[in-house]
Structures are given as structure tokens and as C-alpha cells.
Structure 1
Amino acid sequence: MKDKFIIGRYLPLDTPIHRLDPRTKLIFVFLFVILIFFAHSFATYLWLFILIMIIVKLSHIKTWFLIKGLTPIWIFLIFTFIMHLFVTKGGVRIFELGFVSIDTNGILEGIYIVLRLMFIMMISTVMTLTTSPIDLTDAFERLLYPLKLVKIPVHQLSMMMSIALRFIPTLMNELDKIILAQKSRGSELSSGTLMNRIKAFIPLLIPLFISAFQRAEDLAIAMEVRGYDANTERTSYRELQWKVKDTIVVLSIIPIAIVLFVLKYLGV
């Protein structure tokens, strides 16, 4: 499980994507996700997929490794597709049985929604794989700095987001240990019908939640012992430096958007 859920991990490599300012990556990912929701044809999704693959290549992340990270959400993606398949109506009706029917619009909308979720997951995973947790926290805090003027605890919010991301692989590791412990006691977790598998996983939730609360408490105690105070001004170990290449990367979203809207306007 832990080898399949890679979002929240960090790969310390020396690549063009790793060397970018973390604020640049956050801004680019935010704008890129917005563009994903404007895509509504196979040509526009192909354009976005090519861009994601270019980013993956520049970050030296193996494509199979990134695709493997989508494994834990396949059930959710399939459920989403099936839901749109039967709910969305319009176009040519290709199947009908009583009150159940499937239209071409339902198929297309289901495919588009699945592609959107996959692309969002992929680009977000690339960001976490190429940005250290400390840099992510600093980037969140710098970008949200204007909110301090209205007394919003920006640093606390940034720290919460960073810890939440880092907890994902930790919890997956803990879930692996619990599954192995249950299997050693004779529990069948990977055989039987889908409903039986779901029922078999329910007993895993209680020890997983207990472990999560224990780890959260240990982390809080460790931070307190080390003198962490969220209300005091803090300095950064590494100062973030915005360079010309960061400006170029952020501005590159403009031609990307232009090509996207041209493809959408042409209806291809």
C-alpha cells in the first residue's frame, strides 16, 4: 500500500523542477488545475497530458512510478465514471433497459471527469515529489502573507497543510503494518467478493485511527519540547529566492492557456 500511495513523499534529486522556487510550483499547479476544468475535448486533454509528461521528464520521475501512485484511487475513479455514465443524459442513446439508459454524453462526461481527477492527482504528486516539506510550508506562508493583515493565522495554516501532506505516507506505512498483522492472524483481506473485502477492511480503521492520534500527540509533544511557538516570528533555514526562470515558468501558463482555448474554440 505504501509503495502505491506516493503523494506527500519527497524525492531529493537535482533537476530543473526541483531547483524552482516552491512558490513558483504552487502558483503554476494552482493555475494549471484551473485550466484543467476548462478542457472539454480529447484534443485539449491530450495537450494537457503532453505538458504533464514534459514536466515529469524534467523532474526525472519515472512515468510508471507516477502512474503507480494513482492505484489507490482507481476504485474512486471507476465509481465516478459509472455515476456519470448513468446520470448524465444527452446525445445519442446507445443502451436502454427500463429506467436505466446510457447516452454518449454520459460516456464522454465520465471520461472527462476521470481525466481531470487523474491530471490533478499527477500534477499535485509531481509538486510534492519535487518540493521538500519545509519549502512547501515556507511557500504557503509567503503566498498567504497578505492574509496576516486581517489577522488570519497564516503560519499555522501552512504548518497544518505541510503536516497533513507528510502524514499521508506515514499512515500508509502504518496501514501496511496493520494489514500484515491481521494476515498473520489468518484474516482474509485480498480474497472473496468486493463486499467481503470491504467488510474485512473495516476492523483496520480503529487501530489506524488510534495510531494516527498517537502519532499526532507525539508530534505535538516533540514540537513543544523543542520550543516551537506558532505565535512568534520565525526565520527560515533557507531563504527563498525568486529568479528570472521562476517568472518565465509562471508566465508560461499564458501560452498554455491560449493553445487550450484555441483548441476548445475550434472544437477539436
Structure 2
Amino acid sequence: MSLFSNITVGQYYPGDSIMHRMDPRAKLLAMPLIMAAVLLANQSLSYIAGATPVLLALVLAKVPLSAFLRGMKFLWLILIISLILQSISYPGETLWQWSIFTVSREGFFLGLRLIYRLSLLILSTMLITMTTTPVNLTGAMEKLLHPFKTIGLPVHELAMMLTIALRFIPTLLEEAEIIMKAQQSRGGSIATGNLGQRLKASVALLVPLLASSLRRADELAVAMDARCYRGDQGRTSLKQYRYKPFDFLILLLVFAALVTVSFDRWT
């Protein structure tokens, strides 16, 4: 099995669920509201309110839970390390002690809150990329940022760059896997040896990966130029976006969650 096959960031999961049919502009508008609700939550009620829209979207998306768990596989270690560091570095009532390490009650719950926030933020981001095609993401970003064109912001180019960067994440991971297997067949591996040997092997991986990325970028630029791509100059949009009642319902739910969190935090 591929080392990077479990990483689902930037990958689209085909489907015909309500979340797949939802207007991509509504998804992008809901994202900052969800982020605000998750980051402001600090009480039991606000934790539930902040998580409700994300969990509801997970159910409506009809994407297997295993796909999300695989996408977070490499993040669990970071979350656990963050929990441990918060627990032993934050002063407070002692829960457990071993040698010079002391786990405080306050630090432990602070670490749990950190895991709560990071997990929901990651899941909400994965929901957007897994239920929205790169083309629709580009169009939605461009439509939402269109008012900023009056002040000279290159809206179309910015949306295109963000979408291409997202689209090429799986491609780069696949390329890295090919390079690693080629190195292993020649007796080299970043998974064995001491720290110095692993660092040297990592450099041997990064250099060809960078060269491959530059080659792909050049090929993409040539292909776009050959097709007379000139940004949004004189171009019309094939996809016409229209808000549906369900889009407004989801935005209203997310806004209600943010209001609940804000009310619970400051009252």
C-alpha cells in the first residue's frame, strides 16, 4: 500500500449528496463562520453548538467516515503530542506525576480543547475539498471575490492559483511515492538509518520532487498558453451559480451556531 494513499487532503470524492449539490459559494461563506464558532467555544453548550454544523455536514455528505479518518491519520500524532505538551507545561492541579513530568488538570483540559478545535477545523476543510470539484471551487472563489476587482485585486488569477495548488497536492504525493520507491530499489530509504542518514535521504527525495514540480508547472504553463489562456479577459462562465433554499438554511444554521457560541461565551 502506498505510504501517501491515506492522505485525502485536496482530493474530490464523487457523489450526489446534498453537500455535493450545495452551492460552493455557500460552503466558502460558511467556512469562516464555522472557524469563528469553533475558536470562540469555551463552554459545554458552545462546544456542542460549534461542532453541530460540522457533524451534520459529515452525515449529509455521505462520504465514508473512513475517508476522513484516513485523511487525519498523519495528524493524530501531532494532536497527541500537543495534548502531552499542554498537559505537562501548563501549571495547575496535579493529575499524574512521573519523575520530573507533571500532568496538570488545567493543562490536560486545555489540550483537549486544542484537539477539539484542530479536529473540527481540519474536518470542515476536508468537507469542502471532498464535496466540491476544483473547477467549482475556482468559480466560487472568483464570484465571491469579484467585488474586490474594483480595487485592482487579480481575483481570477488568485482563485486559479489557490485551486491549482489544491489540485496538485495528490499529484505531488503520488510523485513523492514513486521517487521513494525508486530510491528503495537502489538501497536507499528515509525510513531506516540514524538521524543523519535519514536527513540525507530526505534531501535526496526533495531535490527530484522539486525538479518534478517545476517541470509540471512549466508543462501546465505551456498548455495554458497553447490554449490562448488570458485569465478572465473576454471570457464568460459556463457554470452559473444559483443559491437554493437549502444553501440559505445551512448558512442560517451556521450563523445560529456562531450566535449561540458568542452568547454562551460573553454572558
TM range, smaller chain? 0.7 to 0.9
- Aligned equivalent of 1:214: 215
- Aligned equivalent of 1:56: 58
Alignment check: 8 A CA contact 2:88 2:102 kept: yes
- Aligned equivalent of 2:173: 172
Residue 83 of structure 1 deviates from its aligned partner by: 3.7
Following the alignment from structure 1 to structure 2, what is the Cα–Cα distance between the partners of residues 213 and 226? 20
- Aligned equivalent of 2:82: 80
The alignment's C-alpha RMSD in Å is: 2.6
Amino acid of the structure 2 residue aligned with 1:68 = R
Following the alignment from structure 1 to structure 2, what is the Cα–Cα distance between the partners of residues 58 and 195? 48
Residue 231 of structure 1 deviates from its aligned partner by: 5.7
SS in 2 for 1:252: helix
Alignment check: 8 A CA contact 2:19 2:57 kept: yes
Residue 218 of structure 1 deviates from its aligned partner by: 0.9
Following the alignment from structure 1 to structure 2, what is the Cα–Cα distance between the partners of residues 64 and 192? 32
Per-residue CA shift, 1:21-40, capped at 9, x if unaligned? Answer: 10001111221111110122
Query: Structure 1 residues 116-125 or 66-75, which shifts more?
Result: 66-75
Residue 253 of structure 1 deviates from its aligned partner by: 1.4
Residue 158 of structure 1 deviates from its aligned partner by: 0.6
Taking the TM superposition and a 5 Å limit, the aligned residue runs for 1:8-27 are 8-27=10-29
- Aligned equivalent of 2:183: 182
SS in 2 for 1:186: coil
Residue 79 of structure 1 deviates from its aligned partner by: 3.9
Per-residue CA shift, 1:198-245, capped at 9, x if unaligned? Answer: 654342111111111111111111111111112614211211112222
- Aligned equivalent of 2:142: 141
Per-residue CA shift, 1:9-31, capped at 9, x if unaligned? Answer: 11221110011110001111221
Taking the TM superposition and a 5 Å limit, the aligned residue runs for 1:24-63 are 24-41=26-43, 44-63=46-65
TM-score (norm 1): 0.87
Percentage of matched positions with identical amino acids: 31
Q: 1:84 to 1:198 in 2, by over 3 A?
A: farther
Residue 41 of structure 1 deviates from its aligned partner by: 4.3
Following the alignment from structure 1 to structure 2, what is the Cα–Cα distance between the partners of residues 231 and 263? 45
Taking the TM superposition and a 5 Å limit, the aligned residue runs for 1:115-154 are 115-154=116-155
Per-residue CA shift, 1:174-212, capped at 9, x if unaligned? Answer: 111111111211224434677865654342111111111
TM-score (norm 2): 0.87
Following the alignment from structure 1 to structure 2, what is the Cα–Cα distance between the partners of residues 77 and 201? 24
Q: 1:80 to 1:198 in 2, by over 3 A?
A: farther
Q: 1:246 to 1:227 in 2, by over 3 A?
A: same
Amino acid of the structure 2 residue aligned with 1:164 = A
Amino acid of the structure 2 residue aligned with 1:22 = P
Amino acid of the structure 2 residue aligned with 1:151 = G
- Aligned equivalent of 1:93: 94
- Aligned equivalent of 1:234: 235
For structure 2, list consecutive stretches of 5 or more residues without a partner in the other structure.
Answer: none
Residue 119 of structure 1 deviates from its aligned partner by: 1.2
Amino acid of the structure 2 residue aligned with 1:215 = R
For structure 1, list consecutive stretches of 5 or more residues without a partner in the other structure.
Answer: none
- Equivalences, count: 264
Per-residue CA shift, 1:33-78, capped at 9, x if unaligned? Answer: 1111012246644554454232112111011111110123334334
SS in 1 for 2:18: coil
